[in-house]
Structure 1
Amino acid sequence: MNDWLQDYALFFAQALTLLAMLAVVMVLINRGRGEGEERAQLRIEELNQRQRKRVRRLKVAAAEPQGRKRLLKGFRRDDKRKHKQQRDDASQANVWVLDFHGDLKASGTSRLAEEVSALLEVVEEGDEVVVRLESAGGLVHAYGLAAAQLDRLREAGVTTRICVDKVAASGGYMMACCADRVQVAPFAVLGSIGVVAQVPNVHRLLKRHDVDVEVLTAGRYKRTLTVLGENTEEGRDKFLADLEHTHELFKRHIAERRPSMDTEQLATGEIWYGREAVEKGLADEVMTSDAYLLSRMQEARVFSVRLEAQKRLPERLGLSLSAGVERGVTRLLEAVDASRWLKR
């Protein structure tokens, strides 16, 4: 019995060693591939075809058993006729659908930039780019860059439409107003055209415990408000002036892209729901993205376009703990920020 246990333990140790060696080799191979190859893949799906398959499955399921064969034959005839029609009608328009789900840092901007660059090479006259946007805003410079990517489509003369099903507030609305048309779901949140900054200060706490903090700067306004040092009225005034300046730039950005909107009246940091937003000029029509794309499928080919990063082996093995923690903290901060305007 003891010999059997020893043999089993030795086999188990050898197996573990072999698995560890294989894991190391795979990590090295994956790292080498990541350094030498493109680590993102463009995925394209024709939404017309996906919708057609789903409808057909429902029709077959609802049909009587004896009529299902007849349905399937009819589907094949429809496919042949549609294929011939598409081959003969080279002028059929295309609708290209992008998705942007924003966080505080607008971390999807680099992916959006590459998707826009790819589309600019293929869009033709009559085509349309639809962006399904969802964002409660975040850092000014991050969303300024994201909005600039959408401006590239507008400047190239490409018809663009932003679909907001849930929220496009603050930096999210900065992006939304770059499109030719903005459509919203009935209770989507738009607006929050304002600038906010929060800076905690523990100077009095440190002073109470006889802790001195020296904040040394070169330049009068290098540091206006600090976390550890003693803040001054001059620093507060400059900090507020900077916020007002950023707000003015935000309002100018919107006024240039939606001239019919009363920016001064609406740039108060307030939010409005879908129908209210249309009435006040922040959006153009009330409709969900699904309803709009379904209507476009009757006359155009609709493609979903998404650039997907190829996951490395450590991520597939669950070794992305730090990224998970960062996402959790980011979502917590977003929830705290959204609580300013979220109506319950």
Structure 2
Amino acid sequence: MRKHPIILGLCLLLLVGLFFLLLTALGGGLFGKRSLVWGEHVGVVTVEGIIRNSREITRQLDDFGKDNSVKAIVVRIDSPGGGVTPAQEIHDAILSVKKKKKVVASMGAIAASGGYLIACAADRIVASPGTMTGSISAIMHFANVEELLKKIGLKSSVVKSGRFKDIGSPTRPMTEDEKALIQSLVDDTYDQFLDVVAKDRRISKDDLRKIADGRLFTGRQARKLGLVDELGDLSYAVRLAGTLSGIKDEPDAVYPAKKKSTFWELILQQAVTTLAAEMQKVEGRPEGLNYLYQQ
């Protein structure tokens, strides 16, 4: 009996649709950044710019940790550091995923302060000879606009429940007790940084203190000091991660799939990005306690 051409066409169309759905599932999304490749891969997570939030990076690390086709992870760092807490959270997320898979840190132009803290969690650290790294230190910034307010005839009045409630106020000088309190916060945060580097890099805290005063090192200098393991670029780091994880052939590097956004979400994202960039120009420095190298 002859098959109806319409039914045959619908069946072929259904098969084609199922085929493309399979490709999408295996490849991580046709419109994502992740490549449509099969086999054993090395996942690449990128940390760029000032570290203000850890959510997206830790999510990507967790996703690669659960992906059976990803045998190792490279964390590409091009950052001067940033907030203490997000840097620590990314560091801890790397330690967690390292229980399942090998992790290699790859340093770009700069991987300093909080950027270096993140790298310490990896199994191996790879830097280019000219990478700027180090800056093992903690810092807080406070502005004082008291004289400016006097010139324009403005005064500030504060009602508070405790003497330290408006600590760091830009409308008055900081008292000696307030300076001592802030210094204790910075010192404790700095000590936490030393603990991490000493443990991860197997360097005594006494030896570490001699070089952990905020100074920068080139990648080559850092290697001599034991802060970095090897010299190489991102491609070298990917190959190293593949070797450590037992991948025999040249490993394919895959990237996290980008989240699909609606038209209005894209408009909102662009507006927020533009606003944040303008605010950063005005503010100059990030607020709060930071592991951050600044020129």
- The TM tier, using the shorter chain, reads 0.7 to 0.9
Counterpart selection for 1:301 from 237, 243, 251: 251
Question: Which residue of the partner structure matches residue 188 of structure 2?
Answer: 245
Question: Which residue of the partner structure matches residue 58 of structure 1?
Answer: none
Structure 2 residue 119 is matched with structure 1 residue 176: yes
Counterpart selection for 1:284 from 213, 229, 235: 229
Question: Which residue of the partner structure matches residue 143 of structure 2?
Answer: 200
C-alpha distance in 2 between matches for 1:145 and 1:291: 26
User: 1:332-343 residue pairs with structure 2 within 5 A?
Assistant: 333=284, 340=295
Distance apart, 1:177 and its partner CA: 0.5
C-alpha distance in 2 between matches for 1:252 and 1:171: 14
- Contact 2:128-2:233 at 8 Å conserved across structures: yes
- Contact 2:126-2:237 at 8 Å conserved across structures: no
**Structure 1 residues not aligned, in runs of 5+:** 1-40, 50-85, 87-92
For each residue in 1:23-59, what CA deviation from the matched residue of structure 2 results, as whole angstroms up to 9, or x when unmatched?
Answer: xxxxxxxxxxxxxxxxxx8643267x9xxxxxxxxxx
| Count of matched residue pairs | 252
Counterpart selection for 2:55 from 110, 129, 132: 110
Counterpart selection for 2:276 from 326, 330, 341: 326
C-alpha distance in 1 between matches for 2:78 and 2:67: 25
Counterpart selection for 2:90 from 137, 146, 150: 146
User: Structure 1 residues 253, 204: closer, same or farther in 2, change over 3 A?
Assistant: same
**Structure 2 residues not aligned, in runs of 5+:** 1-30, 287-291
Distance apart, 1:230 and its partner CA: 4.1
For each residue in 1:157-188, what CA deviation from the matched residue of structure 2 results, as whole angstroms up to 9, or x when unmatched?
Answer: 42111011211101111101110100101101
C-alpha distance in 1 between matches for 2:149 and 2:267: 44
- Contact 2:104-2:237 at 8 Å conserved across structures: no
Q: Greater relative contact order: 1 or 2 (C-alpha under 8 angstroms, separation 6 or more)?
A: 2
Counterpart selection for 1:44 from 10, 29, 34: 34
Over aligned residues, Cα RMSD in angstroms? 3.1
Distance apart, 1:256 and its partner CA: 1.8
Counterpart selection for 2:210 from 265, 290, 293: 265
- Contact 2:45-2:73 at 8 Å conserved across structures: yes
- Contact 2:105-2:237 at 8 Å conserved across structures: no
C-alpha distance in 1 between matches for 2:285 and 2:153: 35
TM-score (norm 1): 0.64
Question: Which residue of the partner structure matches residue 108 of structure 2?
Answer: 165
User: Structure 1 residues 280, 328: closer, same or farther in 2, change over 3 A?
Assistant: farther
User: Structure 1 residues 256, 141: closer, same or farther in 2, change over 3 A?
Assistant: same
Question: Which residue of the partner structure matches residue 70 of structure 1?
Answer: none
Structure 2 residue 39 is matched with structure 1 residue 96: no
Amino acid corresponding to residue 121 of structure 2 in structure 1: C
Which structure has the greater CA radius of gyration? 1
Question: Which residue of the partner structure matches residue 22 of structure 2?
Answer: none
For each residue in 1:315-336, what CA deviation from the matched residue of structure 2 results, as whole angstroms up to 9, or x when unmatched?
Answer: 555883342131344378379x
Amino acid corresponding to residue 45 of structure 1 in structure 2: S
C-alpha distance in 2 between matches for 1:276 and 1:225: 37
Distance apart, 1:197 and its partner CA: 1.8
TM-score (norm 2): 0.73
Richer in helix (by share): 1
C-alpha distance in 2 between matches for 1:127 and 1:319: 33
Distance apart, 1:209 and its partner CA: 5.9
- Contact 2:144-2:172 at 8 Å conserved across structures: yes
C-alpha distance in 1 between matches for 2:151 and 2:261: 50
Question: Which residue of the partner structure matches residue 52 of structure 1?
Answer: none
Instruction: Report % sequence identity.
Output: 20
